[in-house]
Structure 1
């Protein structure tokens, strides 16, 4: 194996694409398909190359991921490459111009669900691990490759199982292989999510008595939540303000019954100056105002669903520094970005683990129809990650 990154990348590309095609041809839609078949593809590939790997399961024994671990010969920090093997659903298959699991290459595009997010990245990461396994005596610390099959469900079960595994070394940082060549996500807003139950007396819609329904009370609560004075400007060096969205509202049935319960889901995107505690306080203030203004038969109930912290890496912090430096060294000017949506980096931030997300090949149709990934840039993307990993491991 040559030590020239460009030559190494060129030699590997056909194999990377072949493996990605095989993965695409094994459907692994989150919450729909069984994950054993797609993981089996990788397990056979890894076993043929004698790479140490093992399956990850959650507390209920469900399969949630695959973990590859390559220890170096000297003590040092471990670093992790992370890509998901489960995918979004197909949606309306009749709208696709090719079968969602076709896994072919047409005019330089790898086609099929998961080509962009993120089976091509998974295949590339496995090849990097295979190379490093052959030269493990040259680096310190270790490299782990996490292949999550519980990402698109929002559960991130693979990552959670990895972090809870007493046999796994806690990584010093993680690079997540989402597609897109223009940006590296080095931060993101956090989130605080709650389900709210609003109550009212039940009754008949034709009654002569004046009745305030749960829907009426919930509508007022939405007004209080959305007009409650959230900060509208970025503060403290974080480039985005917080944001509150009522994402669902459910109540009632038919026409003749006044509903006595209305349920709302509220999503608050948090920032360092307005975190989970501030989000909860904001919601509780609105609920208290509602119960005082339009009293119900019992207090409005707030149930916290999830809370992830915001995060933001500085340019000098790893692994962002090595990834960005490697991109520049390979002639790619990539922007660092703090994202509005949350990602698995927020989950990792809760454990004190810095992460980057993104830097992959250009793509189209992610989570939509006709998903495909452009392959001309694959050698550069591969070389960038390969060099970043070698730099982090201080490989000789």
Structure 2
């Protein structure tokens, strides 16, 4: 076993112990109070004299914790990021163990957040402690962002970090999402909108024929489903095609009224050759066809909700190169991947900050029942992140 792996293996028990305590403090996004779970981290960091502070959004809500380890020499700052809030439990009675278990059974760490991403948060805190002891020789600095507004989709911790004038702007970010086989170096972007489809209201039993809002909305769904999107072959440098999905459809009440409004949610996953402008243009074209084919007194309304750009790092770009090279040196074969879902990497890409969005231990049950993380590979993952950071912080 290499020296890196030996040191990482020696840290494993402590990493798991901290992760267990985090799992046993529920932090479901939008449900639980985040103070207790962040308090666990604050106590751990304070006991080791690691500089840290809370992050708040514009409304004063607690959205994260930031650890900052300045180096003794000038240079770039690099950031490790792991979310400490979690998905909800779903049907807790369907779990084989309590969602807040935190137990280790047959080499698996059990419970909500074990894989996404409390184990990564515990690992990153330990890496920060390791590097704090050798900070005088580091160029730039290391930040660890512990986000508790990630699973809401608001990414409040990341936004507060970027808006914080006291924080050094990172030259790159590595996010600790799980998965051993791949380093995620890119992701599709998105364009999301709500669409309000209108029509005259009426009685469902009336002798007068009325094309209601639900019927008009259903026709719009057919138009959107039939819309042509570019294939992946049209953008060989980006391995995924764009995708359009109608994700919500609401309208009407009871049986006797033809509703005058139906609301849709539309999610378009974008690529470098089919961006947010293209997505909006496509949806507006379908809406124009609807209003021409099935006219109504009130035009169909489109309200954009959010948009993020796609991103993709080349394998020789930092911090992707550091992580891939470190994995090869430790003896783990990984490949670079562009993910279909969007993530904080898209938000950071919009700010011009290169990001990797996933490399960690094997896992099961992510966002589902019986979430668990496999611990046998933890020493390798720990050593890879630490080696990657040391290379970046020594380079200046």
Match of 2:271 in 1: 271
Q: Is 1:47 aligned to residue 46 of structure 2?
A: yes
Q: Could you give the per-residue CA deviations for residues 134-171 of structure 1, whole angstroms, max 9, x where no partner exists? A: 11111101100000001111111100100111111111
Kindly state the Cα deviation for residue 357 of structure 1 after the two structures are TM-superposed: 1.4
8 Å Cα contact 1:234/1:240 also seen in 2? no
TM alignment of 1:72-111, pairs within 5 A: 72-111=71-110
**Structure 2 CA distance for aligned equivalents of residues 73 and 16 of structure 1:** 27
**Structure 1 CA distance for aligned equivalents of residues 226 and 263 of structure 2:** 19
TM alignment of 1:219-368, pairs within 5 A: 219-236=218-235, 237-368=237-368
TM alignment of 1:147-158, pairs within 5 A: 147-158=146-157
Match of 1:119 in 2: 118
Kindly state the Cα deviation for residue 96 of structure 1 after the two structures are TM-superposed: 1.1
Match of 1:393 in 2: 393
8 Å Cα contact 1:138/1:395 also seen in 2? no
Between 313-322 and 103-112, report the one with greater CA deviation: 103-112
Q: Is 1:34 aligned to residue 33 of structure 2?
A: yes
Unmatched 5+ stretches in structure 1: none
Q: Could you give the per-residue CA deviations for residues 322-367 of structure 1, whole angstroms, max 9, x where no partner exists? A: 0000000011000111111111101110000111111111111111
**Structure 2 CA distance for aligned equivalents of residues 142 and 84 of structure 1:** 21
Match of 1:373 in 2: 373
* TM-score w.r.t. length of structure 2: 0.98
Q: Could you give the per-residue CA deviations for residues 97-132 of structure 1, whole angstroms, max 9, x where no partner exists? A: 111111111111111111111111000000000111
**Structure 1 CA distance for aligned equivalents of residues 214 and 90 of structure 2:** 31
8 Å Cα contact 1:13/1:379 also seen in 2? yes
8 Å Cα contact 2:232/2:238 also seen in 1? no
Kindly state the Cα deviation for residue 4 of structure 1 after the two structures are TM-superposed: 3.1
**Structure 1 CA distance for aligned equivalents of residues 228 and 28 of structure 2:** 40
**Structure 1 CA distance for aligned equivalents of residues 281 and 204 of structure 2:** 35
8 Å Cα contact 1:22/1:103 also seen in 2? yes
Q: Could you give the per-residue CA deviations for residues 206-242 of structure 1, whole angstroms, max 9, x where no partner exists? A: 1111111001111111111121222133433111111
Kindly state the Cα deviation for residue 11 of structure 1 after the two structures are TM-superposed: 1.7
**Structure 2 CA distance for aligned equivalents of residues 169 and 163 of structure 1:** 9
**Structure 1 CA distance for aligned equivalents of residues 105 and 289 of structure 2:** 59
Q: Could you give the per-residue CA deviations for residues 15-39 of structure 1, whole angstroms, max 9, x where no partner exists? A: 1111111111111111111000000
TM alignment of 1:155-166, pairs within 5 A: 155-166=154-165
Cα RMSD of the aligned pairs, angstroms, is: 1.2
- Please give the secondary structure, in 1, of the residue aligned with 2:234: coil
**Structure 2 CA distance for aligned equivalents of residues 332 and 6 of structure 1:** 12
TM alignment of 1:11-26, pairs within 5 A: 11-26=10-25
Match of 1:176 in 2: 175
Kindly state the Cα deviation for residue 65 of structure 1 after the two structures are TM-superposed: 0.3
Match of 1:208 in 2: 207
Q: Could you give the per-residue CA deviations for residues 271-308 of structure 1, whole angstroms, max 9, x where no partner exists? A: 00000000001111111111111111111100000100
Q: Which runs of 4+ in 1 moved over 4 A?
A: none
- Please give the secondary structure, in 2, of the residue aligned with 1:230: coil
Kindly state the Cα deviation for residue 395 of structure 1 after the two structures are TM-superposed: 6.7
Q: Is 1:65 aligned to residue 64 of structure 2?
A: yes
**Structure 2 CA distance for aligned equivalents of residues 131 and 294 of structure 1:** 66
